[in-house]
Amino acid sequence: MNKNSHILTIPSQANYELLDSGEGEKLERFGAHVLSRPDPQALWNKSLPETDWKKADAYFTRDSSGAEWAYRGNMPLEKWSIEFGGLKLWIKPTAFKHTGLFPEQASNWSWLQDIIKKQKAKSDSEKVQGVSEDIEVLNLFGYTGGASLACAQAGAKVVHIDSSKAAVTWARENAELSGLSDKPIRWIVEDVRAFVEREIKRGRTYDGIIMDPPAFGHGPDSEVWKIEEHFRTLVEECKKLLKPLDDARGGPLFFLINGYSAGYSAIAYENNLLSLQKTFGGEIEIGELTLQESGPEKRLLPCGIFARWGR
């Protein structure tokens, strides 16, 4: 058993709150607005009465005719902004029940920023030895940019890749909202596997890699992604993009894998990172990402898994 197995928890904050969960749903507050939406992990009874749930400003419905958000009151139908995790982000309820923010990822954002800031401080003291000040990060399946912005805010140069033009546009809007539009972030709409293959041919290398692969997806030119078929090969290809051991820093700094695909274990992701620990040292941490209810029971809602190597 991995001794570095953790349950990482995000409690209620000023602009995000998990009010209740249960019976296949969750009730959340994003800034001033409360949303009710499905969550298959909530296999328990609700704590709050149904009257509280019916006060939600918006709720997600799904039936044989389709899926959509239904709105109450004076809630903005398109988007609103919140401050969360040191960033300013646009919340936009989508047709896939998502809002653009996965608040449980704040635990990983902090971890990434700590590594980058420590390396920046170390590089400042080692300038005479020729260590580059630039820390270069590749974020694959970057979605609306939370991890990219966290890394850029800490001082890294970031390449952000997603196959969805809408998601990359949203990420750029988040960067502008957070006051980070002048940071060195390359926004690229492309199939992840095609981009990685080309970067290998170019001889590019990175100090850190982040990936958040979906179970299934399409690239911008209808390329098909299936995690059970493509994940392992992608991880191995990404290892070729990491700084080599003879780099001035002695190799890369981190590799983070997030997972939301039902049926997979963090141990499965960990096994793909063991070769990095063998080559570069460092530590591997695995576990679950959770949100804590604000009610008296403080129940935890499991939201995903992670495996991360760092040194």
Q: What is the mean pLDDT of residues 156-162?
A: 98
pLDDT at 102 over 50: yes
* Alpha helices, DSSP H, located in 23-70: 50-53
Mean pLDDT of all residues in the chain? 93
Torsion of CA 34, 40, 45, 51, to 10 degrees: 30
More confident residue, 200 or 222: 200
Contact 251, 278 (CB under 8 A): no
Q: Phi and psi for 25 in degrees, rounded to 5?
A: -140, 165
Lowest mean pLDDT among 1-15, 230-244, 288-302: 1-15
More confident residue, 46 or 214: 46
Domains of the chain: 8-91 (2.60.40.1180), 103-310 (3.40.50.150)
In which band, very low, low, confident or very high, does the pLDDT at 75 lie, cut at 50, 70 and 90?
A: confident
pLDDT of residue 127: 64
| Structure tokens belonging to residue 216 | 């299934």
Reduce the secondary structure of 113-153 to three states and give it as a string. Answer: HHHHHHHHHHHHHCHHHCCCCCCEEEEECCCCCHHHHHHHH
Lowest mean pLDDT among 75-84, 220-229, 293-302: 220-229
pLDDT of residue 129: 56
More confident residue, 76 or 52: 52
| Structure tokens belonging to residue 55 | 């006060």
In which band, very low, low, confident or very high, does the pLDDT at 5 lie, cut at 50, 70 and 90?
A: very high
Q: From residue 66, how far is each of 58, 62, 100 by CA, in Å?
A: 17, 6, 20
- Please give the Cα distance from 106 to 146 (Å, whole number): 8
Question: Which pLDDT tens digit goes with each residue over 107-157?
Answer: 999 999 999 999 999 887 776 455 567 999 999 999 999 999 999 999 999
pLDDT of residue 131: 57
pLDDT of residue 128: 46
Question: Which pLDDT tens digit goes with each residue over 268-283?
Answer: 999 999 999 999 999 9
The number of beta carbons lying within 10 Å of the beta carbon of residue 78 is: 8
More confident residue, 96 or 302: 302
- Please give the Cα distance from 57 to 74 (Å, whole number): 8
3-state secondary structure of 141: coil
- Please give the Cα distance from 205 to 184 (Å, whole number): 16
Reduce the secondary structure of 184-223 to three states and give it as a string. Answer: CEEEEECCHHHHHHHHHHHCCCECEEEECCCCEEECCCCC
Q: Residue 97: left (phi > 0), alpha (psi -120 to 50), or beta? A: left
3-state secondary structure of 18: strand
Evaluate the CA torsion angle 50, 51, 56, 60 in order and state its sign.
Answer: positive
pLDDT of residue 262: 67
In which band, very low, low, confident or very high, does the pLDDT at 239 lie, cut at 50, 70 and 90?
A: very high
For the whole prediction, is pTM greater than 0.85?
Answer: yes
Q: Residue 294: left (phi > 0), alpha (psi -120 to 50), or beta? A: alpha
More confident residue, 85 or 263: 85
Please list, in sequence order, all residues whose beta carbon lies within 8 angstroms of the beta carbon of residue 123, skipping any fewer than 6 positions away.
Answer: 131, 132, 133, 135, 249
CA geometry: angle 9, 171, 113, nearest 5 deg: 45
pLDDT of residue 2: 62
